Every structure is written in structure tokens, then in C-alpha cells.
A and B are shown apart, each in its own frame.
Chain A
């Protein structure tokens, strides 16, 4: 299965060569033993390697610390399916070196939900029914808290430390994307059309998010989820990638802000309970890109390109660091 946003093989090969040495991508994927482990690979898909190798457990939701030296992720019982809406609070939080070594649980079942690194890697911002909490990344001990103000999933701390993003129910849509001031707790809407999986650009001024865009639903389309970017105050929304027949989730911008990773799956939730979805990578300078036939989309976005898009292995919720990871053999 491949994402179909690519025009010419040469263009795709050039994109692959361009990103090959730009650090590493971490992602969960199903192994040949049937469990989910964490993998690393180069952004062009090469040098793929399993870094957890835990056939009795599932691992998901890896996040690199901003300096790329550590990962935090969730470890679940093998029999527990990864839930596309709840993955940030399933299982136990585990911190490891970014090559997977030194893995250590930082809490118990369900603790440190939706944990996201502070810029200096010393704290974790977490989200639960009780609110947004900030915990010491070494001990897991909570040091301060804020009201959650409707935020309920996919909390991410901005690279400059000033903001949090998340999915919120307080802006009139069931799944809005919001921004929260990390000191005061004040919030604003970023996008209010059924949204999810928000993440930050490196400048902390823009965000990438998945969006069930209203115009397509209004035109009678089934409302395939699209990848959009917007200023963090909600202004200047722009299409990044869309394809009829695939839901685009898990947008993650490269540390230099030039590329974006995402997944594209015919299943509405990205299918984490099964095999995940093909991941893909494109240049943000090429946006907007429309994949496949997508006739209505092409009419709505007549200036959109068709690629290049580099299709990668199946996975789910990938993340990217430019840190040069060395592996202990």
C-alpha cells in the first residue's frame, strides 16, 4: 500500500536523498511477532531497526526530547489494543535513551498521561481529568498544575516552552484544537472543525493538525481527514496534504521546519488496533499537495501539487529528531 501523492519517481528519489542524513524517525509498528514495538529509521526509510524488542508488550506514542537524547513512550500489556483516542494514557510511561537503551518506567498504569517534554527535558506536561500538570521528568513528581479548560487529549508542549497544544471540547466543536498559555492557562482556539493530532512548528508560532474540513463535507464528500497548518492564534489556515480515500493523521514537523511526517490510512482512526498506516514525508515548501484522483479536492485547491511524497513503512504517530543517535551493539 502506498500513498499516491507522488508524480515522478525521480522527484521522490531526490526527496529521499535530501532527507536521508537528517537524523532519525521514531515510530511504533507491528512486528512479525504480532506485538507493537518502537523502531528507528532514517527519514528516507533506511536503516530501520527495532529498539524495544518486547514481544510480551506493546509500545506506542514515542516522543523525542527536544535535544533528541531521550524518548518517552507508553508500554501496554500485549493483549491491550492501542486506542486511537486514548493512547497517551494507556499503559505505563517509560523513559529511555533515544536508541532504546536504559528504558525505565516513570510511573504506574495510566500515570503521566499525554506526557510531553519541556524544551530543556527537565519537565513533562501531562493532561488528565484533574487538569494540566507539570512533573519532574526524572522522578515523575508533580510540581504545579493548571485547569485543563476543556483540553482532553494529545497535549504537546511547544519548543519554546511558552505554550501547550491539545484537543479541546471548549470551542464549540467536539474535537477542536486549542492553544494554552503554559503559565497562565489562558486558551485560544486554533481550529474548530473536528480536529486532532496537533503538533508544533519549531518556531512555536505555527501548528500542524489534522482536520475534517467543513468544505468537503458540505460538498457531499465523506469528509476524509486532511493535514493542515495554521498560525497558533488560528489565523492563516493552509492545506498541507489531502487525499480522498485516506485519513491523514499524526503530522510531525521536522526540527528545521522544512518537512512534515504523517500517516495516511483508509481507516478513520489510523488503525492502531491493527497494522497502522503507511507513513509519509513531504516538503512543506511543496504544500499544498493532493494525492490520488481526489477530483473534488483538486477543484477546491486548483493550485495544489501532486507531490513529491515519500512513502515510508507502516507505523503510527511518528516523531523526528536531528540528533545523531549512535547505537550500542
Chain B
């Protein structure tokens, strides 16, 4: 049974495989909040206009934290049950797009210049394996 938070939040809901965690994309830095752009292969679309099988790029806020602890006074309303990002794992996520309309802050994008179109913003992230 999917987490009801997934269907209640965002405008897009997908299951997708995290392609990798690029070196330097996720680090602990207490004084500076940031979002990291991670690459996903979409395996199922539950809600919204995304094509299964496509590659999309998703921004996760302070990805070194478990999703349940990621929200703070600057970025509210995000969460989930995922504790750690590992390449190859499946995540079920509620998303918003474009990320720029949801998030104001530093972005670590190891795919900079390698992808077109807006990045998605991870609102809720659960493991789906």
C-alpha cells in the first residue's frame, strides 16, 4: 500500500530507478543547505505527465539527511521514508515541476550542461524496492 502522502502531494507521482550517486553530489555540510540533482529512469507513472522509460533529473534537498528529517524552516513540506540515496535503487516519489518554482538555494548539479528541460523537485520520497 503506497504511502498516502505520495498521492496527496505534488503534481506528479512516479516510481523511478536512481541511476547513480555521482561523486561529490551528496555531502554533509551543516552550515550550507543545498539541493542535489540526481538522475532517474522512470519505471512507472502513477500521476502526471511523464513518459515511462524516460530519464529525468530530480532535485533533493539536503540529500545527506533521511527524508523524514530534511524539511526545515526554509524548505517546508518535503519528506518521505527513504533514509539514504543509493544508486540502482527504486524510489516512489511525489514531485513538482519546475524545481525553480519550489526551491531557492544552492544546487549541486553534477549533470550541469548535460540535460535539457526543467529539473523536478522531490516533495516526498519513499523506497520502492
Contact = CB atoms under 8 A, between A and B. Distances in A.
Contact of A169 (B31, B74, B105): B105
Contacts of B104: 128-129, 152-153
B108 interface: yes
Interface bin, chain B: 10 to 19
A86 B72 CA distance: 13
Contacts of B31: 84-85, 268-269
Given A85-B33, A129-B101, A174 B107 contact: yes
A174 B100 contact: no
Interface in A253-269: 268-269
A237 interface: no
**A interface: dominant SS:** loop
A71 B123 CA distance: 39
Interface in B91-107: 100-107
A122 to B, nearest CB: 26
Contacts of A34: none
B124 interface: no
Contact of B34 (A84, A128, A172, A174): A174
A152 B105 contact: yes
A177 B124 CA distance: 31
Contacts of B109: 169, 172, 174
A169 B33 contact: no
A175 interface: yes
A86 B106 CA distance: 12
B87 to A, nearest CB: 21
A150 interface: yes
B117 interface: no
Contacts of A174: 34, 106-109
Interface in B77-129: 100-109, 112-113
Nearest to B29: A268
Contacts of B32: 85, 175, 268-269
B101 A152 contact: no
Interface of A: 84-86, 128-129, 148, 150, 152-153, 167, 169, 172, 174-175, 268-269
Interface of B: 31-34, 74, 100-109, 112-113
Please provide the 7 A-B residue pairs with the shortest distance between their CB atoms, ordered closest to farther.
A174-B106, A169-B107, A172-B112, A269-B31, A152-B104, A129-B104, A174-B108
23 contacts: A84-B31, A85-B32, A128-B104, A129-B104, A148-B100, A150-B100, A152-B104, A152-B105, A152-B106, A153-B104, A153-B105, A167-B106, A169-B105, A169-B107, A169-B109, A172-B109, A174-B34, A174-B106, A174-B107, A174-B109, A175-B32, A175-B106, A268-B31
